[in-house]
Structure 1
Amino acid sequence: MTTQQGLRARKKQQTREHISHRATELFLERGFDRVTIAEVAAAADVAKMTVTNYFPRKEDLALDLGAVFTEQLAAVVRDRAPGQSALAALREAYLSAVAAQDQVIGFSGASFAKMITDSPALVTRLRDFHDDRQAALARALAAETGAADDDITPRVAAAQLAGVHRVLFDEIMARTLAGESGDEIAAALTIAATTAFDALAPGLADYAVR
C-alpha cells in the first residue's frame, strides 16, 4: 500500500468513527428509534449520503463493531496455537476478553445496554449478528478440519460453541442492566464462563486440534 493509499484509508476510518461517535451520542440521549439518519448527518457535519455509504443500515451506526463481532470466534479458531483445540482456544480468548472487560463481548455500560434493549430494531440486528457469527464459526471449523460438505459436525460444534458465547453475552447484558459494575460482572463471568466451557469439554475437548 502506498503512503497516499494509507492516508486515504486512515481518513476513511476516522470519518467512519466520527459518524458512529456522533450517532451514538444522539442515540444515548434520545433513543435509537427517535433519531433519523438526517439528524446523524447534521450532527457529524457530513452529507446524508456519506452516512449511508459508511453505514447502509441505521442499526450498524449503533452496533458499529458488528463485523468484528461476527468474525471474532472464527478468527480465534483460525489463529489457535499448535496442539490447541478450538474449544481451548475459544475458552482462553473469552477469559482474556472478560479480564479486559472487552466491549465486543458485551461490556458496553448500562446506558448503551439499555439503548439496545429498548429498541426492537437493535435487538433484531444483534440477533442477526449472533446468527452470522455462528455461521462464520461453522465455516472456519469445516475449513480447519477438512470436513466434507455433507458433514454436519462443524455446524453442530459451532452451534454449541457460539451458543455458549451467546448465553454469556446475554448474562453480561442482564447484569449490566441490573446495575452491576464492570468488575463485579467480570468476576461473575469468569466463574460462569468456566462452568460453560467445562460443560462442552466431554464432546469438544479433542475436536479441531491443530
Structure 2
Amino acid sequence: MTGLRERKRQQVHDAISTAAITLFLERGFDEVSVAEVAASAGISKPTLFKYFAAKEDLVLHRISDHQGEAAGVVRRRSQDETPLAALHRHFLAGLERRDPVTGLNDDKTVLAYHQMVFSTPSLAARVSHYMAVDEEALAEALGESTDELTARLVAAQVLAVQRVLARRNWARLAKGETADEVHPSAVAAADRAFALLESP
C-alpha cells in the first residue's frame, strides 16, 4: 500500500508536470524556461529538479511511465501464449481503450502533446533513448525463452512495429479523423503487422 509521503510526492510530481505541459502547449517547449515552470507550480527551481532531472522529463514522464511495459507483458503471459501473441493482444487492448501510446486518442490535448513531442528535436531524441532502454528490457525478457540474437532481433522489430503503428494512427487523427473512425483499420493494421512478425 502506498504511504502518505509517497502519495504526496506523486501529487506534487503530477502538479509540476501538468503546469509544465500546459505552459509548453501554450507557448512551445523551447519558449518556456524551467524557472517559469517552477513559478507556475508554486515551487522553487531546486525543488523542481528534485522531481525531474531535466526539462525534457517534465514532458516525457508520461511516456517513460510505460517503460518496461512490453517486457512485463512477455513475462506475465500464460504458458500457452507466445511472446508475440501476448504483445499483439496487449497492443489491441491499448487500441480498444484509446491508450495514447497507441496513437489512437483524439483528445485535443493528447494530439497537441504528440505534435509537440514529434516536432521538438530534444524531446524526440529523449524518446529515442527511452525506446532503446525499452528494447533492451524486452530483449532480456524474450531471452528467457530463446537465444540472445533472436531475442534482440525480435525486440527491435516489435518496438519498430509499435512505433510505426502509433505514428500512423496519430497522423490520421491529426488530419481530422476520429479515433472511432480509425479504430477498425488500426486493428487491421496491427493484425497485419504482427502477422508479418510471426512469419518464418
TM-score, scaled to structure 2: 0.90
Tell me which of the two structures has the higher relative contact order, counting C-alpha pairs closer than 8 angstroms and 6 or more residues apart.
1
2:159 equivalent in structure 1: 162
Question: What's the CA shift for 1:107?
Answer: 4.0
Unaligned runs of 5+ in 1: 204-210
1:11 equivalent in structure 2: 8
2:145 equivalent in structure 1: 145
1:130 equivalent in structure 2: 131
Question: What's the CA shift for 1:16?
Answer: 0.5
How many angstroms apart in 1 are the aligned matches of 2:96 and 2:7? 29
Count residues in correspondence.
Answer: 196
1:79 equivalent in structure 2: 76
How many angstroms apart in 2 are the aligned matches of 1:95 and 1:87? 12
Code of the residue aligned with 2:128 in structure 1: it is R
2:26 equivalent in structure 1: 29
Question: What's the CA shift for 1:66?
Answer: 3.0
For the 8 Å contact 1:73–1:90, the answer to whether it is kept is: yes
C-alpha spacing 1:36/1:24, structure 2 compared with 1 (3 Å): same
How many angstroms apart in 2 are the aligned matches of 1:179 and 1:32? 24
1:114 equivalent in structure 2: 115
Secondary structure at the counterpart of residue 70 of structure 1: coil
Code of the residue aligned with 2:31 in structure 1: it is R
C-alpha spacing 1:28/1:105, structure 2 compared with 1 (3 Å): same
Which of 99, 103, 110 pairs up with 2:100?
103
Which of 176, 182, 189 pairs up with 2:179?
182
How many angstroms apart in 1 are the aligned matches of 2:74 and 2:154? 12
For the 8 Å contact 1:65–1:104, the answer to whether it is kept is: no
* Identical pairs, percent: 40
Secondary structure at the counterpart of residue 56 of structure 1: coil
For the 8 Å contact 2:101–2:166, the answer to whether it is kept is: no
Unaligned runs of 5+ in 2: none
